[in-house]
């Protein structure tokens, strides 16, 4: 079985009632659509950008507040913030005396977060496959 643009090498046949599938990751490898370099360059001005309350950041502060409220976090709870950026979301949990574990692929963004959140734990990492 073959589909247009997808070779037979990307098809895995099914078994007893389980349909086959195409391994699109082999055929179309993921690309880095958000290169960390762009966030590195934005780190110093990011907080100013998101505070303008205009497109595309209209409602940014309300989204952060709603996220913290929906989490129903209590003092002492551990919170893992993936994609911490400059720490704006994590700051809401810090105000609730949560234990913060923050990670981001942009070291300059994390440097900004470290200034805001001196008691948090930080790690610069990526989930990208190498």
pTM across the whole model:
0.72
Question: Where do the structural domains in the chain lie, given as residue ranges?
Answer: 1-30, 33-124
- Condensed to tens digits (0 to 9), the pLDDT of residues 41-86 reads 999 999 999 998 888 888 999 999 999 999 999 999 999 999 999 9
Q: What CATH architecture applies to the domain 33-124? A: 3-Layer(aba) Sandwich (3.40)
**Mind giving me the DSSP string for the chain?**
--BTTB-GGGEE--BTTBPPEE-HHHHS----SS-HHHHHHHTTTHHHHHTT--TTSTTHHHHHHHHHHHHT--TT-EEEEET-TTSHHHHHHHTTT-EEEEEES-HHHHHHHHHH-TTSEEEE------
Share of the chain above pLDDT 70, in %: 72
């Amino acid at each position: 079985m073959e589909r247009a643009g997808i070779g037979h090498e990307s098809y895995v046949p099914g078994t007893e009632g389980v349909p086959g599938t195409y391994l699109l990751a082999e055929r179309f490898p993921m690309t880095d659509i958000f290169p960390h370099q762009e966030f590195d360059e934005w780190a110093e001005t990011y907080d100013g950008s998101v505070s303008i309350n205009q497109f595309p950041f209209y409602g940014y502060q309300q989204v952060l507040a709603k996220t913290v409220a929906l989490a129903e976090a209590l003092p002492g709870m551990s919170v893992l913030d993936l994609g911490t950026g400059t720490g704006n979301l994590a700051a809401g949990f810090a105000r609730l005396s949560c234990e913060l574990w923050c990670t981001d692929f942009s070291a300059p963004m994390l440097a900004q977060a470290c200034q805001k959140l001196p008691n948090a734990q930080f790690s610069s990492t990526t989930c990208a496959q190498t």
